[in-house]
Amino acid sequence: MESLYEQAFERGVHVVAANKKPLTIDWAKRQALLRLASESHRSYLYETTVGASLPVIDTLKNLVRTGDRVRAIEGCLSGTLGYLTNELMSGTPLSTAVRTARRLGYTEPRPQEDLSGLDVARKALILARELGIPLELQDVSVTPFVPQAYLDEPEVEPFLSALETIDQEMAERIATYKDEGRVLCYLARIDPTAFRDDSRPVLHVGPVAVDSEHPAAQLRGSEAFVAFTTERYQDYPLIVRGAGAGGAVTAAGVLADTLRVAQTLRGR
């Protein structure tokens, strides 16, 4: 895919894409791609790679290019896992929630892919790289939504059946969280200050029980959110929240990026 984009830039074609892959390949290759776009004076817009048409990438770019210092980024970046955690919190057994989500088309055909957290890790990496942090996908500390042993099952039906064996354990965890006034969510955390500090990860994605005041605790349905804590947004983060997945909002985001490119060409 990235070689296709290279050809586009070389031929003077702008690129708008929802594809996360060209932004999560080797850092050096990603940099070469963006440099080529810049040197060719071509636009490469990819707002929809994180949070569909929510203004996430553009907001982050504006913070960075106006000289703000980003201290932390936190977000629920998966509508699928957001749906699942909400279902769990309202008492649905894990295996039932995953089956329903799959039937409604909220998961990939292999729900293992959603529950592995890899898609969230890719989004977190895209955000971290906007800060100039040269990390790779394997540098993201990922705690999957369910233990890795379950995810190793390649087939769908045996995987879903196996999940039933942790329904009870999960229900007990959820009950504890409720007693404590906490809410389960699948959170991505980016801590730029940890870069070059081996004691803690810059990028972590995994299930976290947040307290009821946390913006993640208020999400409903398959809502996503991203919170940017920066030097300027220090006391309270800048938060963007809303439907972060789905065909209509993703298509709209791609169209918005395309119209943005068109505007840069206006009046030439």
Note if 123 is an active site residue.
yes
Q: For 104, what's the count of Cα atoms within 13 Å in the CB-facing half-sphere? A: 14
Other Cβ atoms within 10 Å of 154 Cβ, number: 9
Tell me which stretch binds a second copy (CB under 8 A): 87-95, 144-152, 181-189, 260-268.
260-268
196 binds a second copy (CB under 8 A): no
Identify which of residues 68 and 139 has a Cβ nearer to a second copy in the complex: 68
66 binds a second copy (CB under 8 A): yes
41 binds a second copy (CB under 8 A): yes
Q: Which of 65, 138, 152, 198 binds a second copy (CB under 8 A)?
A: 65
Q: Which of 20, 29, 61, 123 is catalytic?
A: 123
Cβ 78 to a second copy shortest distance, Å:
16
With a CB cutoff of 8 Å and minimum separation 6, the contacts of 74 are: 187, 188, 189, 190, 216, 226, 227, 229, 237
CA distance 83 to 194: 30
Identify which of residues 103 and 266 has a Cβ nearer to a second copy in the complex: 266
Tell me which stretch binds a second copy (CB under 8 A): 19-27, 55-63, 129-137, 169-177.
55-63
Q: Which of 68, 113, 139, 191 binds a second copy (CB under 8 A)?
A: 68
Identify which of residues 60 and 135 has a Cβ nearer to a second copy in the complex: 60
CA distance 23 to 21: 5
With a CB cutoff of 8 Å and minimum separation 6, the contacts of 20 are: 49, 119, 122, 123, 126
Identify which of residues 126 and 219 has a Cβ nearer to a second copy in the complex: 219
67 binds a second copy (CB under 8 A): yes
Cβ atoms of residues 69 and 230 within 8 Å: yes
Q: Are strands 182-190 and 44-45 parallel, antiparallel or unpaired?
A: unpaired
Using CB under 8 A as the binding criterion, the count of chain residues that bind a second copy stands at: 39
Size of the chain, expressed as the number of residues it contains: 268
Q: Which of 62, 139, 179, 183 binds a second copy (CB under 8 A)?
A: 62
Task: Report which of 185, 196, 204 is spatially closest to residue 73, judged by C-alpha positions.
Answer: 204
252 binds a second copy (CB under 8 A): yes
264 binds a second copy (CB under 8 A): yes
Binding mask 221-240 for a second copy (x = CB under 8 A): x-x--------xx-xxxxxx
Task: Report which of 239, 237, 207 is spatially closest to residue 225, judged by C-alpha positions.
Answer: 239
Cβ atoms of residues 216 and 185 within 8 Å: yes
Task: Report which of 32, 23, 219, 49 is spatially closest to residue 135, judged by C-alpha positions.
Answer: 23
Q: Which amino acid is at 141?
A: S
Tell me which stretch binds a second copy (CB under 8 A): 2-10, 137-145, 177-185, 252-260.
252-260
Catalytic residues: 123
**Residues in the site for a second copy, rule: CB under 8 A?**
41, 53-55, 58-59, 62-63, 65-68, 213, 218, 220-221, 223, 232-233, 235-243, 248-249, 252, 255-256, 259, 263-264, 266-268
